[in-house]
Amino acid sequence: MDLCIDRLTVDFGSVLALENVSMDLHNGEVTVLAGPNGAGKSTLLSVLLGLIAPDRGQVRVNGRVAASAGRPSALWLREQLGYLPEAVAFSDNLSGRQVLRFFALARGVSSSRVEDMLERIGLSRAANRRVSTYSRGMRQRLGLGVAILHTPELLVLDEPTGGLDQQGLHLLWEVLEEWKSAGRLVAMSTHELALIERRATRVHVLVDGVLRASGTPAELRDKSGLPLEMRVGPGLDEVYEELIGAEEWAV
């Protein structure tokens, strides 16, 4: 899947959440959106998800328009994506197994896959417990299970590392590698660049709805002009700090 975001603008009246943002996302890439709170990362992901209709610009998938001004993303795109929200939540009345079964039915996935997924996300023993009794890390793992249940071509992860326990982080790294090696696409937002640095193929830095910089982690290091350290280069977290503080950046 090749995804082209073309001059996307989202205007909430008092706030210009995205302004003429363009970027390309390619097969087998883990694309990371970085930026401070209110930078527009989640807004961009929400446009892909069909939760927000853009005011201007387009989203194209393999050349086909999936979202455009006033029109949220098409059902055929949403068929192919899986989503892990930042503050993932489910009905507290349901058990983990019931949650996965609901999404399996909605996504046309067999119920046997639900059991495999429970095993994979380490919730088999807690499968019949109400979600309200789950820790934040367990909910996040359940959310990741929901997102990958139907093996989507595009995986959208909004701040996926927040609240994840060690087991969840390990699962997340595994999923990112799996998606990359299978030639699928991952689009994710994060504050924790240092954590995600080694897994990111490309990083796009957004500040106040404007795309400040784009490139591979190595390219961003070069652009930043920060001095090299013994560990080969500055940590991407430092690069990020530099980027969001810079007045102008070449995209």
Partner 1 sequence: MGRVAVAVVLHELQERARDRWVVVVTGLFALLAVGIAAYGSAAEDTAAVVMAPSLVTLAAFLVPLVALVLGHDAIVGERERHTLGLLMSLPVRRSEILVAKYVGRLIALVFAVVLGLGSAAVFLEAGQRGVVLSLLPPTLLLGAAFLSIGVLISTSTQRVATAASMAIAVWFLVVFAYDLGLLAALVATDGALSQDTITWAVVLNPAGLYRTALIARLVGDTALGDLGMAVQLPGIAARTAIWASWIALPLAVGALQLGRRKAVTA
Chain positions contacting partner 1, by CB under 8 A: 12, 46, 49-53, 72, 75-76, 78-79, 81, 83, 85, 87-94, 98, 102-103, 105-108, 143, 146, 156
Q: What is the DSSP letter of 200?
A: -
Min CB(92)–partner 1 separation in Å: 8
Min CB(78)–partner 1 separation in Å: 4
Q: Name which of 156 and 239 has its Cβ closer to partner 1.
A: 156
Identify whether the C-beta of residue 1 lies closer than 8 Å to the C-beta of residue 61: yes
Spatial CA neighbour of 213 closest among 182, 184, 188, 242: 242
Q: Is 147 exposed, middle or buried (0-12, 13-18, 19+ CB in 10 A)?
A: buried
Q: Name which of 11 and 178 has its Cβ closer to partner 1.
A: 11
Q: Name which of 102 and 173 has its Cβ closer to partner 1.
A: 102
Min CB(34)–partner 1 separation in Å: 21
Q: Name which of 87 and 218 has its Cβ closer to partner 1.
A: 87
CA–CA gap between residue 226 and residue 31 (Å, rounded): 23
By three-state DSSP, how is residue 82 classified? strand
Find how far residue 139's CA is from the centre of its chain. 17
Min CB(169)–partner 1 separation in Å: 21
Identify whether the C-beta of residue 85 lies closer than 8 Å to the C-beta of residue 67: no
Q: Name which of 62 and 93 has its Cβ closer to partner 1.
A: 93
Min CB(83)–partner 1 separation in Å: 5
Spatial CA neighbour of 48 closest among 67, 22, 64: 67
